[in-house]
Structures are given as C-alpha cells and as structure tokens.
Structure 1
C-alpha cells in the first residue's frame, strides 16, 4: 500500500466512523476504498469489519446520555445481535462472495420505508403492543437476530435496518433508538471481528486473511469519525435524522446493485 493509498483508507475510516455513529452504512465508504487500493474483496470485508470496531465503540460512548435506562433492553436484544453476527460471520467465510447482494438490497429498501413510515407505524403498533413486552417483544428480537446475521456477513447499512426495526417496535425517542442501534451494531461488529481474528490466527480460511495495515488505518480513522459523528448526530432533529437515514439507505442500495 502506497502512502497515498494509506491516506485514502484512513480518510475513509473517518467518514465511515462518523456515518456509522449517525445511522450506519460506513462500510460503503471503507469497503470500496480497500478494494480500490488492491485488497481482495473478502480480505477487504474481513479487515474492514475488524477496523470499524473502535469507531463503533466511540460512537456508542458518544450517546451515553441517551443510553440511560436501556440496560435490560440492550441485554435482551444484544443476545440476538451476538448470535446472529456469529452465524453471519460463518456464512461469510463459507459462502461465495456477494451471495446476499439481491436480498441485502431488498432489506435496505424495506428499512428505508420503515424509517419513513415509522411515526404512523409506531402509533399503529402501540395499539396492540402488549404491556409485558416493553423491549419490543419476540418479533423485534427476531428482527435484530436477522440483522445480526446480515451485519456479520457484510454489515453495510445494518444501522438503517436496526433503526427501522427499533423505531417501530419501541415506544421511544428517535435519538434513544439511535443510541441503542449503536450498541447493537457494536455487538455485531465486535463478535464478527473476534470470529475473523480467530479464523485468521488458526489459518482456517486463507482467502479471508486479515490485512492488519488496513485494519489499523481504518481503526484509527473510525475512532475519530465515531466521536465526531456522535456529537453531530445527537443534535439533529428527528425529521432531519430520518431524512438522512433514508438518503444513506438509498445510496447503499445503489452501491450494492450497481457496484
């Protein structure tokens, strides 16, 4: 990797960390950049996932105030994210590349629709929401579990999917929903990263070797971007945040479909 290529990967990490803190889809910046500088797609995917973990952590920490009172909710949903992420990571290591491209594009499109309709759908859901399910009930858990599978496999726009789900099934402020999304995305990224590091250490999948130079560059950039993104995202009004989410989701679909 040349010095200019290293600068490009580092800058992509900053952008990805910021976008992930606000909504998600940061991988649509870092992954193509890493491929453009010469990394094989699967190597880029694995290295990108590991590198974005510090940015996910700083993004989650930036929403500490909005996370108050959500501990039980996050423990329940975090288990679904953890299990799903491990399954998704195994699928990445064992299935042909881009197997899920069409399905992923559909899921992101659906998530954008959910985000747009979230205020009305939340009112509708509240009419039948059972009082014994303050954390969204089994359907939300299953949705988060499925989102974890997707996030462990590729991860781009998993934040869009999570916000769409959480915003509908949880009777809560959008900023608090976004804070919960950041924690769940951190669980997904961290679990998949551990799996990929172990696979690399044990040399189980040669085609999924970790490029540690790329990891360090993305990690450094994402750490800065996650901190800055959280500061900006916490100040956005709900309609603005919702509009930004939809724009990022549409960009994600275009990138996945047309490359």
Structure 2
C-alpha cells in the first residue's frame, strides 16, 4: 500500500516527466525510475507509467498547436503508423519475458541518441537517394515505416520514444526542430494512447499511482509545451542528445553491474 508521501513523489516525477517530454523528450526516464524506486515491479511500472503520462502528451500537444500549422497532411499520413505501432508494442510487452525487456532498454536509448546526433548527415544521404526534399507527401511516405517501428518501441517501453521520434522525423522531413517537436508530441500521444487502451485490460495498472501521475503529467506537459517554442532549436537538439546518452549509459551500467 503506497503512502501519501509516495503518491506525492510519483505525482511530482510525472509533472517533471510531462514537462521534459514537451521540451526535449526522455521524460519517462524520470517517472519510470521513480516508480521502480518506490518498489513497483519493472513491467508494472512501465505499464502504469504509460497510462499515467498520456494526459501529459495532451497538454504538450495543445500548448504547441500553433507549431502544428500546415502539418495536417503529415499528421494524417503518420498517425496510423503511430497507432498501429503503439498497439503492437503493448502486445509485445505482455508476451516477451521481463529479462529481455531489461536487456534491450539501454541499447535502444543509446541508438536513438546517436541517430539524432548524426541526423543531418543521414538526412542528406536519404534525400540524395530518394529524391525527396522532405516537404511533400513522399517524405511522409518514407517516414511511415520508421515511425511505425518507433511506435512499436514506444508501446513496448516508453522511455526514449520522443528521442527516436525526433530522430526519425528529422531524417525524413525538412523543417525546424520546434515544428518537428510539435509533430512528435501528437505522434507520441497517439502511440501512448494506443498502448494504454490495450493495457487497460491487462490488470497490471496501479490505479492510485496512475491517477495522481496523470494529473501531474497534464500540468507538466502544458507548462513544457509553452516553453518549448522559446528554446533555440540547435540547443534543444543537443539537450535531447545529452539526455539520451546519459540515460542510456546509466541503464547500461546498471545492466552490467
């Protein structure tokens, strides 16, 4: 039975996670370890965390809606991949052993951070070989499968999803990081809602934690969304890379010791 203090700590962690997700991604890497530190088993913590942070993505998406102007076509083309991938990842989580889940986490996060760091070079290579400038429907079509794979990862294990999404979107779409960040918010919301709906029937959600964290995530996401548009895109990118590398290395060390 969780105490009031423990619930309050979980709520604060969720608020910080919601804000971080809106700003740079990786916010789940705040709330997920917090749940584990409170004694919640890893898979249960992951599922509860996914359900709880959905409102944070809503708050972040609404706060950044002005940066979504002109991106309706992108959303319509990429949302199906985000939803299907999130559902597939949620199903995978419940049917793959917890040990496999534990081993894969650091490598997936490190890969995402590295991909984001070199995205400019990779994006140029993709344009030369596909003939897409990233602004038309072809760019979105090329991004659909990678977005679906990223969503499957997110449904399986939320931490790092925002980093992967930004890396993928930056490879295929030619736009400012601020606008891609807003698009990322909507795709992350779709992915997490798809996985969360599936998890509702798992019987593994700790509802008192989920409710308190949902309130915190909504507040944090809204606050972070308002701040995101004022941050220099280049600094935002390297902040995301730093977060991804630091968290990935932390999980890798924990795996090896």
Tell me if both proteins adopt one fold, taking TM over 0.5 as the criterion.
Answer: yes
Q: Deviations over 1:106-154 (max 9, x none)?
A: 3332322232223343344333443597242544211111111110011
Q: CA RMSD in A?
A: 1.8
SS in 2 for 1:222: helix
Kept in 2, the 8 Å contact 1:111–1:165? The answer is no
Residue 110 (structure 2) pairs with residue 109 (structure 1): yes
Kept in 2, the 8 Å contact 1:101–1:257? The answer is no
Mapped partners of 2:231, 2:77: distance in 1: 28
Residue 26 (structure 2) pairs with residue 31 (structure 1): no
Mapped partners of 1:151, 1:175: distance in 2: 21
Mapped partners of 1:191, 1:255: distance in 2: 28
- Within a 5 Å distance, the mapping from 1:240-255 to structure 2 comes to 240-255=235-250
Mapped partners of 2:33, 2:200: distance in 1: 21
- Within a 5 Å distance, the mapping from 1:76-115 to structure 2 comes to 76-115=77-116
Mapped partners of 1:64, 1:154: distance in 2: 26
**Match for residue 221 of structure 1 among 200, 216, 221:** 216
- Within a 5 Å distance, the mapping from 1:160-199 to structure 2 comes to 160-199=163-202
TM-score of the two chains, using structure 2 as the length reference: 0.91
**Match for residue 210 of structure 1 among 205, 209, 223:** 205
Mapped partners of 2:16, 2:119: distance in 1: 27
Q: In structure 2, do the counterparts of structure 1 residues 132 and 20 end up closer, same or farther at CA, with 3 Å as the change threshold? A: closer
More displaced, 100-109 or 173-182?
100-109
Structure 1 position 100, deviation (Å) = 4.0
5+ long unaligned stretches in structure 2: none
Q: Partner of 2:12 in structure 1?
A: 11
More displaced, 48-57 or 134-143?
134-143
Q: Partner of 1:205 in structure 2?
A: none
Q: In structure 2, do the counterparts of structure 1 residues 148 and 59 end up closer, same or farther at CA, with 3 Å as the change threshold? A: same
Q: Partner of 1:206 in structure 2?
A: none
Kept in 1, the 8 Å contact 2:59–2:218? The answer is yes
Tell me the matched-pair count: 251
Q: In structure 2, do the counterparts of structure 1 residues 41 and 103 end up closer, same or farther at CA, with 3 Å as the change threshold? A: closer
Q: Partner of 1:157 in structure 2?
A: 160
TM-score of the two chains, using structure 1 as the length reference: 0.90
